[in-house]
Amino acid sequence: MRTTRFHVLTLFPEMIVQGLSPSVIGRACEKNIISLNAVNIRDYSTDRHGKTDDYPYGGGAGMLMQAQPVYDAHKAVTGGKKIRTIYVTPQGIPFTQAKAEELAKEGISVEVLDLRTLVPLDWDAIVKSVSKTHNAIVISEEVKRGSYAAEISAQIAEELFDELDAPVERVCGLNIVSPFSPTLEDENFPHPADIVKAVKRVLNR
Does residue 75 sit in the same domain as residue 115? Answer: no
Does residue 151 sit in the same domain as residue 202? Answer: yes
Q: What is the pLDDT of residue 112?
A: 79
Does residue 101 sit in the same domain as residue 79? Answer: no
Q: What is the pLDDT of residue 3?
A: 83
Domain end, chosen from 23, 56, 83, is at: 83
Domain end, chosen from 37, 54, 83, is at: 83
What does the chain look like in DSSP terms, one character per residue? -PPEEEEEEES-HHHHHHHHTTSHHHHHHHTTSEEEEEEEGGGG-SSTT---EEPPTT--S--EE-HHHHHHHHHHHHTT---------SSS----HHHHHHHHHTT--------S-TTTT-HHHHHHHHHHHS--EEEEEEESTTSHHHHHHHHHHHHSGGG-SSPPEEEEE-SSPPPSSHHHHHHHS--HHHHHHHHHHHTT-
Does residue 109 sit in the same domain as residue 196? Answer: yes
Distances from the Cα of 138 to the Cα of 22, 60, 128, 185, angstroms: 36, 25, 15, 20
Q: What is the pLDDT of residue 84?
A: 80
Does residue 74 sit in the same domain as residue 123? Answer: no
Q: Which domain holds residue 66?
A: 1-83
Q: What is the pLDDT of residue 143?
A: 84
Residue 198's CATH number = 3.40.50.920
Q: From first to last of its 205 residues, what are the pLDDT tens digits of the chain?
A: 678 888 999 888 888 888 777 777 888 888 888 888 999 999 999 988 888 887 665 555 556 778 899 889 999 988 878 778 876 655 555 566 666 677 777 788 777 777 767 777 889 889 999 999 899 999 888 888 888 889 999 999 999 999 999 999 999 888 887 777 777 777 778 888 888 888 889 888 8
Q: What is the pLDDT of residue 54?
A: 77
Q: What is the pLDDT of residue 92?
A: 54
Q: What is the pLDDT of residue 48?
A: 85
Does residue 17 sit in the same domain as residue 103? Answer: no
Report the number of distinct structural domains present in the chain.
2
Residue 50's CATH number = 3.40.1280.10
Domain end, chosen from 83, 110, 143, is at: 83
Q: What is the pLDDT of residue 164?
A: 93
Does residue 136 sit in the same domain as residue 64? Answer: no
